Structure 1
Amino acid sequence: MAKIIYQRILFVLLVCFGINASAAEVDTVLTHSDIMKKDIKAVVILPNNYSKKVSYPVVYLLHGFSGNYADWITKDAPVQNLADQYHCIIVCPDGAFASWYIDSPVNSYWMYDTYVSKELVSYIDAHFSTIKNRTGRAITGLSMGGHGALSMAIRHQEVYGAVGSMSGAVDLKPFAKDFAINQILGEYKDNPKSWADHSVVGMVDQLKPGVLKIIFDCGADDFFIGVNNALHEQLLKAKIAHDYTVRPGAHTWEYWSNSMNYQMLFFSRFFDKLN
């Protein structure tokens, strides 16, 4: 009798508080990069009640400098709940300690633009039930990953339909002596043009109005706030529509965990409108 009463109480709690007995499925997959000739792990988060009969949009979520593919599920971030809430697949690639998600012009070992935007996207589309075109793909990330998301989306506008950045290092030039960027681009003094061309602020002229849906933000106390404000002004001048927000906060997981809620809502509206 006590067991029956307990089950009834549990049922009432589930109904009253909207608790879903099933939850997002988190898995780690081993992918292969032909261009870099190595295996690379990624986290794949499937929404609850995932079905192969349904085609899901995918959000590629990038980690920052010194991080790895597991950051977004081991830190205090709401990504599993967001996969459930918006019925999408979230993929967290590994961008190595300091790849900057760039195809390095000086070292062929670092080819993470091609890996994420071509090899990983192809793997995910082949192994999961996805919307297999740009109307069902978005990409975002934090810090180094914010730079990577924007730069890859601009370079591959045929792959991604929406892009975001949280506290992104959107201009690499002011940080030429920091974050191991020189191992990817070489020394700034030797080729300043390459640094300019690989910075997001140097790619704005590649954007056409209305092609990419863009959202980015930065904390008011973040050391990247200056370059983000400058990118915002540059996009305004170029008449490229975008959502830009400055919120209280710094370069912290507390800030990024909150930011993800706004970015996922933005991506969900993009997916719903086109699919």
Structure 2
Amino acid sequence: MLSKFRTTEISDPRFESNQLRHITVKSSNLRQRGDITVYVPSGYNLEDLPIAILLHGVYGSHWIWSQKTGIHLKMESWIKNKEIKPMIIAMPSDGLWGDGSGYLPHTHADFEKWITEDVVQAVIELIPQASLQSKLCIAGLSMGGFGALRLGVKNHHMFMAVSGLSSITVLKEIKLFVQEPLTSYHQLEKENESIYQTILKYKEHIPPFRFDCGIDDLLIESNRKLHLQLKKLNIKHMYKENPGKHEWPYWETYIKDTFLFFNNILNK
């Protein structure tokens, strides 16, 4: 396969541990290098595995899901216990702009296409257990929830299922977290600034999706509002509130709901 990327690097299996691999590619969308941590299930003769893209929140990077929640260890256990069928988890950086790129197109780099084009391509090129036949899902937390829900709905032709945890629902909420001015995130397409507006635009073609939020989360009211807006439109979705705040113990606890949801959709 002819590589889409000018340069690619992948970790040497001799020095990898706990089923984690690490990729760096030079991305034309980022106009620089981008990193992806990848969980690949153990076992032989695994091919065409589904790929779940897992997006981080502000301040984070490609390593944070594995090193803050142990998601790779959890997945290995869930697969061995036959709770979930084998799937790859691709955990990219958001492009490392400011405190967080929002997974949006910016004037100097397209952080959206980095996820929907480059990350998928890099995993298919460099991970033997993935292929063009691999089915795709996408999820994320906070800013990553905003990215996952928006990109998953917008690219409904790509993604089989979509999930957000403690999601930012409108772009202006990113100012609760980042140092950069809101004007830096300005979008020509206004649906890029609101999950509800994105869903409204693509409401005839929405993949199965869910979102959840902690009852003591600073984003709970906006998640409730989105849920009510979708109910009024009779747009099918799953919404759940759980005990917890906007913090890693919540995401570590409730990420399993997302992967059970993906597993159910992928294996219908």
Which category of TM-score, normalised to the shorter sequence, fits these structures? Answer: 0.7 to 0.9
State how far apart, in whole Å, the 1-side matches of 2:175 and 2:71 are: 33
The 5-angstrom pairing of residues 56-205 of structure 1 reads 56-83=49-76, 85=79, 86=84, 87-95=86-94, 96=96, 97-104=99-106, 107-109=107-109, 111-128=110-127, 129-130=129-130, 132=132, 136-174=135-173, 176=175, 178-179=177-178, 180=180, 182=182, 184-186=184-186, 197-205=192-200
Corresponding position: 1:213 with 2:212? no
SS at match of 1:30: strand
Corresponding position: 1:46 with 2:46? no
Is the contact made by 1:24 and 1:46 (CA closer than 8 Å) also made in structure 2? no
Q: 1:253 to 1:50 in 2, by over 3 A?
A: farther
Q: 1:138 to 1:112 in 2, by over 3 A?
A: same
Q: CA deviation at 1:80?
A: 2.9
1:128-158 deviations in Å (ceiling 9; x for gaps): 233635x811100110100010111122111
Residue 54 of structure 2 aligns with an amino acid whose one-letter code is L
Q: CA deviation at 1:195?
A: 5.7
Residue 60 of structure 1 aligns with an amino acid whose one-letter code is I
Give 5+ residue unaligned stretches, structure 2.
Answer: 1-16
SS at match of 1:168: coil
State how far apart, in whole Å, the 2-side matches of 1:178 and 1:254 are: 18
Give TM-score scaled by structure 2 length. Answer: 0.82
Q: CA deviation at 1:256?
A: 0.3
Q: Between Structure 1 and Structure 2, whose CA radius of gyration is higher?
A: 1
Identity of aligned residues (%): 25
State how far apart, in whole Å, the 2-side matches of 1:164 and 1:185 are: 23
Range that drifts further, 71-80 or 233-242 = 71-80
Q: 1:168 to 1:236 in 2, by over 3 A?
A: same
State how far apart, in whole Å, the 2-side matches of 1:108 and 1:69 are: 21
State how far apart, in whole Å, the 2-side matches of 1:119 and 1:153 are: 15
Is the contact made by 2:52 and 2:89 (CA closer than 8 Å) also made in structure 1? yes
The 5-angstrom pairing of residues 216-255 of structure 1 reads 216-255=211-250
Give 5+ residue unaligned stretches, structure 1.
Answer: 1-22
Q: CA deviation at 1:83?
A: 4.7
The 5-angstrom pairing of residues 254-273 of structure 1 reads 254-273=249-268
Is the contact made by 1:31 and 1:41 (CA closer than 8 Å) also made in structure 2? yes
1:202-221 deviations in Å (ceiling 9; x for gaps): 21212335741101100000
Is the contact made by 1:173 and 1:196 (CA closer than 8 Å) also made in structure 2? no
- Deviation >4 Å, runs of 4+: 174-178, 193-197
Q: 1:40 to 1:269 in 2, by over 3 A?
A: same
The equivalent residue for 2:26 is 32
Residue 41 of structure 2 aligns with an amino acid whose one-letter code is P
The equivalent residue for 1:5 is none
Q: 1:245 to 1:79 in 2, by over 3 A?
A: farther
Is the contact made by 2:144 and 2:167 (CA closer than 8 Å) also made in structure 1? yes
Is the contact made by 2:58 and 2:177 (CA closer than 8 Å) also made in structure 1? no
Give TM-score scaled by structure 1 length. Answer: 0.80
Structure with more of its chain in helix, by fraction: 1
Is the contact made by 2:52 and 2:90 (CA closer than 8 Å) also made in structure 1? yes
Q: CA deviation at 1:71?
A: 0.3
State how far apart, in whole Å, the 2-side matches of 1:94 and 1:114 are: 13
SS at match of 1:99: coil
State how far apart, in whole Å, the 2-side matches of 1:40 and 1:198 are: 24
Q: CA deviation at 1:81?
A: 2.4
Equivalenced residues, count: 241
